[in-house]
Structures are given as structure tokens and as C-alpha cells.
Amino acid sequence: MKTVEGKCTLYGLKNYDSVINKIVEELGLMESLFDIKLILTEALTNAYKHGNNEDRNKPIIVNYSFDGTNLTFHIVDCGVSEEILSVPEELKDEDILKEGGKGLFLLKCLCDKVEFFKNTLVIKKVFA
């Protein structure tokens, strides 16, 4: 299978749902729509809230590629934080009802690899 690659830019989260649907259709992964929609919704929301401080004038760039087995997303926001973010290994009972923190854990559960590099979230999922 030929590798499918693409890039899109969002400003805020206004049209994120249609952007996600377009990406999934372009990648030919309609049978995984639910998982990919959940992954990208969490990633884009995180980029918008934490990276761009909910500023609709700042772009969120989504780069993606799929070679028939390996799906990779690079979500780039305008954050300037040098803070090292870590993805939780587990979700503790006392954290279940807290406002934040569950999105990254959910990404870790659905994906094979989740990493941060400054203002970029890299997500990898392998399809057997």
C-alpha cells in the first residue's frame, strides 16, 4: 500500500469534527472512525486548551501519515512551555472525577505510542 500523508490546520475547535472525518476518509480507515475520532478529539482539545490557551487565532497543525499498518499523527500547537509532560501510566480512583488529566491516559490506552516534544504531540497506532 502506498503511504498516505496529509496536513491540515485548525484555528480553534469550531470545525474539528469535519476535519477529523476528512482525515479518516482520506486514510481509508472508516472502520476505525470511533477510535481515531476519540484520539484526535482528545489531542486537539489538549492542544487548544493547554498549548494555545484557548486562543482561536493560534493554529493547530495536524500532520498525518498511514502506510497500511502504521498510523502517525503530529499535533503541533503554539505553546512555548519547556515543561516536560508525561503520560500517566494509570488512572487512580481519586483522579477519576477530577476535571482534567484523563485525556492523555485515554490516548495511551488507545495508541501504541504517545510522546511530547516541546509543542508537538506525537501519536502512533499500529494496525495489524
Residue with cell 484557548: 54
> Which residues does residue 115 pair with via DSSP β-bridges, in sequence order?
122
What is the value of pTM for the model shown?
0.86
What does the alpha-carbon distance between residue 28 and residue 76 come to, in Å, rounded to a whole number?
A: 23
Alpha carbons within 13 angstroms on the beta-carbon side of residue 117 total: 8
**Residue 117, helix vs strand vs coil:** strand
What does the alpha-carbon distance between residue 123 and residue 106 come to, in Å, rounded to a whole number?
A: 12
The domain tally of the chain equals 1
Alpha helices in the chain (DSSP H): 16-27, 33-46, 102-110
Any idea what the CATH number is for the domain that residue 25 is in?
3.30.565.10
All three cell numbers of 55, joined, read 486562543
Residue 43: give the domain boundaries. Answer: 4-126
- Print pLDDT tens along the chain (128 aa): 799 999 999 999 999 999 999 999 999 999 999 999 999 999 999 999 989 999 999 999 999 999 999 999 999 999 886 555 555 566 565 555 455 566 777 888 899 999 988 899 999 999 98
pLDDT at 88: 58
